[in-house]
């Protein structure tokens, strides 16, 4: 019985692509580091706070992904690209997936309460945002931006976790993550153009065609770079942070070059590999700048 349960947990983590928590977590940690910098890097209770931020991030994302898989299970079963996912393939039951969603949500709420009262008050709203995304492709082509915002609130939430208040400047990082996520989600939606049209689902590729959607994706990624540049200026960060923005820009240029309207064979490389590099390298450049160089402090 114990081994069977552990196997289900492993399958659930596969279902939600647990390893892709790396996409938003580094940006949340940068938000936390910027908040610490503003407070003079007070270290009392720091390890605990950072630990609870990680728990909150992972819990919220896990709940959102599991809920998305549940809501889309019937669609996934009809889509050749997704019919082998865990729920349509019968590897996991809906009951177990609902239990996993509830447990992940509870972990998020516990972490929010452990951080501070404002985090706990805002926690239901945050869960509402990440769950709401799963409905949006049924009625709006801008579902990509809703997904972006669901990830984009992470750095602002991390700031609140550290400071128990919100500085409007951190919203430039929220905007950057929103535009970045929306841009790569548009790319990921391109292979489903025909399926979305057949099922009457909404997406930018369906609304503007694949070529038009890819141009919109490029504009969204340009907007991300602009938001990061404003963030650097707002916090008076150093040259290493500027270098991090340049690295992100180069990676996004490379990502965009992997996908062509007539050739979507490298979508997975653009979506998974390149965006992992973007988030991790961004964090490394900015963390060194913020922690070790104490830019502008």
Q: What is the CATH number of the domain that holds 88?
A: 1.10.357.140
Q: Is residue 56 part of a domain?
A: yes
Q: Is residue 5 part of a domain?
A: no
Q: Is residue 141 part of a domain?
A: yes
| Domain count for the chain | 1
Q: Is residue 15 part of a domain?
A: no
Over residues 67-116, the pLDDT tens digits come to 999 999 999 999 999 999 999 999 999 999 999 999 999 999 999 999 99
Q: Which of 227, 228, 222, 223 is nearest to 244 (CA)?
A: 228
Domain that holds residue 255: 21-293
Over residues 130-170, the pLDDT tens digits come to 999 999 999 999 999 999 999 999 999 999 999 999 999 99
Q: Is residue 14 part of a domain?
A: no
Cβ(39)–Cβ(162) under 8 Å?
yes
CA pair distance 102, 130, nearest whole angstrom = 14
Tokens, residue 188: 């990921």
- Report the half-sphere exposure of 37 (CA within 13 A, side-chain side): 23
């Amino acid at each position: 019985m114990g081994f069977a349960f552990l196997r289900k947990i492993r399958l659930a983590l596969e279902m939600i692509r647990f390893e892709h928590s790396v996409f938003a977590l580094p940006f949340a940690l940068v938000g936390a580091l910027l908040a610490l910098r503003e407070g003079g890097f007070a270290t009392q209770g720091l390890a605990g706070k950072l630990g609870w931020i990680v728990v909150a991030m992972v819990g919220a994302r896990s709940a959102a992904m599991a809920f998305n898989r549940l809501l889309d299970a019937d669609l996934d079963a009809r889509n050749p690209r997704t019919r082998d996912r865990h729920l349509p393939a019968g590897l996991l039951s809906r009951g177990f997936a609902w239990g996993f969603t509830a447990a992940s949500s509870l972990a998020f709420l516990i972490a929010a309460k452990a951080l501070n009262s404002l985090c706990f008050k805002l926690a239901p709203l945050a869960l509402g945002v990440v769950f709401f995304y799963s409905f949006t492709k049924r009625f709006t082509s801008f579902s990509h931006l809703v997904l972006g915002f669901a990830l984009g609130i992470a750095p602002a939430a991390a700031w609140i976790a550290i400071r128990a208040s919100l500085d409007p400047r951190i919203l430039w990082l929220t905007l950057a993550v929103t535009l970045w996520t929306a841009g790569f989600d548009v790319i990921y939606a391109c292979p489903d153009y025909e399926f979305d049209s057949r099922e009457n689902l909404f997406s930018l590729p369906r609304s503007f065609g694949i070529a038009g959607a890819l141009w919109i994706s490029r504009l969204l990624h340009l907007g991300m770079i602009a938001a990061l540049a404003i963030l650097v200026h707002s916090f008076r960060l150093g040259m290493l942070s500027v270098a991090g923005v340049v690295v992100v820009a180069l990676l996004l240029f490379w990502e965009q070059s992997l996908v062509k309207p007539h050739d979507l064979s490298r979508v997975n490389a653009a979506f998974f590999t390149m965006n992992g590099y973007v988030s991790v390298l961004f964090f490394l450049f900015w963390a060194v700048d913020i922690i070790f160089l104490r830019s502008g402090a």
